[in-house]
Structure 1
């Protein structure tokens, strides 16, 4: 992409990067989970998500450093190619996971791998547990099928799996339709729409959003096991709606109060702005509402990250019956990336047709719909045994007031 002579080369490069990121998003957590001691496995998988958001923050810092360099975008894309090269070289020294080795009948190598993870006196026990786990997985695979169509057919036969899939897919789609990745991807552009015309200033302010996203990921580690996944998502969505509608209002007021520009001014803005000590977007006039827009954008990020940013992934790790967990998690992840594609490819079109304020209001409407869907479809999974979750889904999850109506109907008549 950095050396692209024409736009279609950038598109091809972006497709390649997208395939790589998609593969890594599935294989990296899996590798970590299969290569970690049981007692710290959850923390290391969570750390993967935290480091992703931290990586976004670092990337914005690097982008900021190149904003005034000739050929800015080529440098930004070119520098982004360095970390994958380093990572590729380092990964050549990584061993396969003990689980993969054992499953492929490389028992000795699997044992050696376990010795690097566990104390010597625990290796025998872990090897036996690994054997049992693989045997159970193979039995489950034989029961549900080994191709996608067969697995889907078998999954749909079980009401608890259907409801788990509905809940798991719902939280992943809602996560994207609140507009978070559009905000993250187009943060500098949004900053300019808010009136900060300087690319350097806009990029610098974008560090606020990525920094808060990282902070929110840390906060989620502290609160998600205390407040629960369902409650955290619902509270997060309420605050997201407040943030998005407030952003829409501020952008609308900013638009209504923007100075009128006629055709003469459009062609002579350079002289006019210089005389009036201001510049037009994106060579533009800074808005007096710009700072408030940045504050609201920061609020939106910090209420999203601990709730809708992390809880959907945790729910999908817990809500499926054991034999369908791999299938369910894969379908949910595919739904997440598909929703991501829809939201991000429509963002610029929406801003052109609805305006920035209308786009934020639309995302707010999606968030309201998401709140209703999650409220009625997703049960709480915090501290609940997998067997109990399966029972709840088999019976059918009933939140208030449906639960109250059901209880009243079940009472014997006097």
Structure 2
């Protein structure tokens, strides 16, 4: 980045950020407009958790086939992989601003397709479109913010993109709650994402390209015009010079016969350790299972016995809220305590939380209530086919019921209310 990220950032970084953006609203406008991409990223990855409850109610094929539920959720991730893979090339070829515009178009089209989908197939198609937008926006938004921000507050502004992602997830749960009793329920939930996408599209049309990309493409005067709007008059010339030197060094390296390749980078100890730490953290934070919790949180709550869709969404809001709150805490403490210490504290919390979850799941499995024909007789003898034909049905408990292969088996289920939490707490299979 031109000028680099100011390494002298301290606990007053965000006070400096507020001060500079107050004196120069243009910087805040650039950061906010690009940051909507992070908000959309969080919203579209979080909204499906609540919408899925109502999609299953409307489409019986989705309710009966878990593979369809998994496809509706995971196709956004698959699309994001593709979007991120091509996003880097597109950023260099077409510029950051155009890639964000393309991502907004994909977000909007995906939202419209999902909101009007007559069945699971089009829902999956819409999720793929949204995923492509997520992949592009996830790498382009922070890149645009970093290249269009003053060096002194660059770290602070880029950090807010992470908060907007978790904030978008929290917002998705609030939107889900707001539309639980509206006609169309889940169609509104997934369709609302089209509005911020349209807003960002309009805002980005009115904003310039990244000054670094312009300079890199030989459009020096256009880049200087933007830098003069971003930096105070007494700093702009130095920033122009820093940008010039940075781009020239980059071009020189690309044209050199000694250009470093992946193998040479991996042979460099410092680069190898940094790459291992950075990529390792990204990989392992996914393997702890946070995406499963975020995507299926209301479903997990219902399996715990809270039957109401609205109640399940309300309880899941706690998870999303703590997720967003964690981002705020990390932004405040990251320069006060340091990256490593904050990371160790966070990982300790993750380990403890996973240990508690494991213990609870183990207790639930080993102490699952038994199920008998006497209990099912309270529901007009509606029983699970697997239970009826079981050789040893007397050994069945709630966990056996949940694991049954028949799509008609489930926790507290009935034809009229799939998750029917009875007042007498009886379990029906």
TM interval, short-chain normalised: 0.5 to 0.7
Q: Deviations over 1:87-128 (max 9, x none)?
A: 212211111011111111222211110111011232222111
Instruction: Please name the residue that 1:57 is paired with.
Output: 170
Does 2:318 match 1:181?
A: no
Q: 1:142 to 1:251 in 2, by over 3 A?
A: same
Matched residues in 2 for 1:79 and 1:270: separation?
42
Q: 1:175 to 1:41 in 2, by over 3 A?
A: same
Question: CA offset at residue 215 of structure 1?
Answer: 1.1
Instruction: Please name the residue that 1:116 is paired with.
Output: 229
Question: CA offset at residue 142 of structure 1?
Answer: 3.6
Instruction: Please name the residue that 1:205 is paired with.
Output: 315
Question: CA offset at residue 26 of structure 1?
Answer: 0.5
- The answer (yes or no) to whether the contact 2:330–2:342 under 8 Å persists in 1 is no
TM-score under structure 2 length normalisation = 0.59
Matched residues in 2 for 1:101 and 1:250: separation?
55
Partner SS state of residue 144, structure 2: helix
- The answer (yes or no) to whether the contact 1:196–1:287 under 8 Å persists in 2 is no
- The answer (yes or no) to whether the contact 1:144–1:154 under 8 Å persists in 2 is no
Partner SS state of residue 261, structure 2: helix
Does 2:233 match 1:125?
A: no
Instruction: Please name the residue that 1:80 is paired with.
Output: 193
Question: CA offset at residue 229 of structure 1?
Answer: 2.4
Selected match of 1:92 from 191, 205, 210? 205
- In angstroms, what is the RMSD of aligned CA positions? 2.9
Instruction: Please name the residue that 1:283 is paired with.
Output: 420
- The answer (yes or no) to whether the contact 1:224–1:232 under 8 Å persists in 2 is yes
Instruction: Please name the residue that 1:164 is paired with.
Output: 274
Question: CA offset at residue 271 of structure 1?
Answer: 10
Instruction: Please name the residue that 2:184 is paired with.
Output: 71
Q: Deviations over 1:172-214 (max 9, x none)?
A: 1111111112111211112212221111011011111111111
Does 2:351 match 1:241?
A: yes
- The answer (yes or no) to whether the contact 2:147–2:212 under 8 Å persists in 1 is yes
Q: 1:143 to 1:184 in 2, by over 3 A?
A: farther
Structure 2: tracts of 5 or more residues without a match: 1-113, 383-410
- The answer (yes or no) to whether the contact 1:196–1:286 under 8 Å persists in 2 is no
Report how many residues are paired. 280
Question: CA offset at residue 245 of structure 1?
Answer: 1.8
Worse-matched range after superposition: 224-233 or 43-52: 224-233
Question: CA offset at residue 20 of structure 1?
Answer: 0.7
Q: 1:101 to 1:257 in 2, by over 3 A?
A: same
Instruction: Please name the residue that 1:151 is paired with.
Output: 261
- The answer (yes or no) to whether the contact 1:2–1:77 under 8 Å persists in 2 is yes
Matched residues in 2 for 1:242 and 1:125: separation?
49
Question: CA offset at residue 25 of structure 1?
Answer: 0.6
- The answer (yes or no) to whether the contact 1:144–1:155 under 8 Å persists in 2 is no
TM-score under structure 1 length normalisation = 0.61
Instruction: Please name the residue that 1:396 is paired with.
Output: none
Q: 1:129 to 1:267 in 2, by over 3 A?
A: farther
Instruction: Please name the residue that 1:355 is paired with.
Output: none
Q: 1:29 to 1:270 in 2, by over 3 A?
A: farther
Worse-matched range after superposition: 36-45 or 8-17: 8-17
Could you say which structure has the greater relative contact order, defined with CA pairs below 8 angstroms and 6 or more residues apart? 1
